[in-house]
Amino acid sequence: MDGSLERELHNGTDARGQVPVGTDLIEWYYERGFTDGLPVVPPTPEKVAAVVAALGGEAQFEECRVAPRWGLLTREVMAINMVMAGCRPDYAPVVRAAMQAITDRAFNLNGVQATTHVAAPLVIVNGPLAAEIGMNGGCNAFGSGNRANATIGRAIRLMMLNVGGGWPAELDKCTLGNPAKYSYCVCENEAQSPFAPYHVEMGYAPSDSTVFAMAAEAPHSVTDHQCNDPEGILDTMCSAMSTIASNNAVLGGHCAVVLGLEHANDIARAGWTRSDIRHYLWMHSGNAFRKISRDHRYGKVYNRNLPKWVKRDPDSRIPIVPSPDNIHVFVMGGEAGRFSLFIPGWGHMNTPVLKGIGTDAAAAGPVCIDGTCAL
């Protein structure tokens, strides 16, 4: 739909190359299947040109191809989808970096688009640019009410649909779906976090801006109004992580932990670092092999996805992910409320990608935990 998208959205169908006067544009785009199910903003030539300019000009410049249809994403097509999603031109660097991250070979967008699982690309923005464009990492960060969060995430989804062809029941085979498949984009609350930002921990400078992309389920609430020490708070998080119902339990991979401000501040006051948090969660989450194997109730099935170094004894512990480095810790949320989040990943089929935004930051990435990024 990439080539036809440009022609139809700009030209319409009449002999003059214009949409007929009086056309209900909202319905016109619905009829052509260019939406995610919600009304879109008509991509006028003026609005599209402004976004193309923000992307650096050269409307036909090829940014990437989008699986599973492998449609060609030019700057013009990216701009059209951004306008339809409601993006401002100054969101363009974030959208471009996000698309480059999820189309990196390590991310495996082809699998994410076609899986029966509920996974959707989670995009988390770090660095000064998030504040400059007005993103929300504070109160209700994963919810409604912020234009940048909502429309950047929506633009990513529209390109996955219109360029990648990931339409439900056609190439998208997701059994049940997930509200995050409309929009799943937030930023870290760096201004109030007691820890260094995530991208700084990963080797970027504080002045750099980045996008982190991971195939993930929707957030799972972690409530703890009782504990005020690191062990107690993180034990509660471990209980949320230690479920056999997520792909992580049987397929490893990566997961994300979002600490609310109250929990994060309590942990930081005790002198704990992000590394301490990751290692504690890895050491104390997981399940006994007998729980994963259901005590061989259905026969002895050797799970080839489990790490080779894990014992298959009934009481041996099966970690949720292979390494503490596979747990990605962020700080978000408002000032009140002792809530955090656990975000399961899709399993070993996806490797998160951390991509720098802009010339200097991009030169340092993308960064993949297992080193498989296609540079």
CB 185 within 8 A of CB 88: no
The residue range of the domain holding 223 is 218-345
At residue 80, φ and ψ (nearest 5 deg) are -60, -50
The number of folded domains in the chain is 1
* 1 Cβ contact list (under 8 Å, min separation 6): 34, 69, 71, 162, 163, 165
Q: How confident is the model at residue 10 (pLDDT cuts 50, 70, 90)?
A: very low
Q: How confident is the model at residue 371 (pLDDT cuts 50, 70, 90)?
A: very low
Which residue bears the tokens 């700084």?
200
Q: Classify residue 314: in a domain, yes or no.
A: yes
Q: Give the mean pLDDT of 202-229.
A: 97
Please tell me the predicted confidence (pLDDT) of residue 5.
Answer: 55
CB 123 within 8 A of CB 216: no
Q: Classify residue 62: in a domain, yes or no.
A: no
Q: Classify residue 332: in a domain, yes or no.
A: yes
Q: Classify residue 38: in a domain, yes or no.
A: no
- pLDDT digit string, tens, across residues 309-330: 777 788 888 999 999 999 999 9
Please tell me the predicted confidence (pLDDT) of residue 63.
Answer: 97
- pLDDT digit string, tens, across residues 220-275: 999 999 999 999 999 999 999 999 999 999 899 999 999 999 999 999 999 999 99
Q: Classify residue 236: in a domain, yes or no.
A: yes
- pLDDT digit string, tens, across residues 25-60: 999 999 999 999 999 999 999 999 999 999 999 999
What are the tokens at 169? 């029941």
CA-CA-CA-CA torsion sign (319, 324, 326, 327): positive
Q: What is the pTM of this model?
A: 0.91
Residue 291 half-sphere exposure, CB side, CA atoms within 13 Å? 15
Q: Classify residue 316: in a domain, yes or no.
A: yes
Q: Classify residue 77: in a domain, yes or no.
A: no
**Of the listed ranges 104-108, 275-279, 289-293, the one predicted with least confidence:** 289-293
Which residue bears the tokens 């890895």?
282
Where are the extended beta strands (E) located within 208-347? Answer: 209-216, 220-223, 255-259, 287-288, 317-318, 327-331, 339-344
Q: Quote the distance between the C-alpha of residue 16 and its chain's center.
A: 42
Residues recorded for the chain: 375
Instruction: Classify residue 340 by burial, with Cβ atoms within 10 Å: 0-12, 13-18, 19+.
Output: buried
Please tell me the predicted confidence (pLDDT) of residue 329.
Answer: 98
**Of the listed ranges 70-84, 140-154, 296-310, 316-330, the one predicted with least confidence:** 296-310
Is a pLDDT exceeding 80 seen at residue 366? no
Q: Give the mean pLDDT of 164-186.
A: 96
Where are the extended beta strands (E) located within 179-237? Answer: 185-187, 209-216, 220-223
Q: Classify residue 75: in a domain, yes or no.
A: no
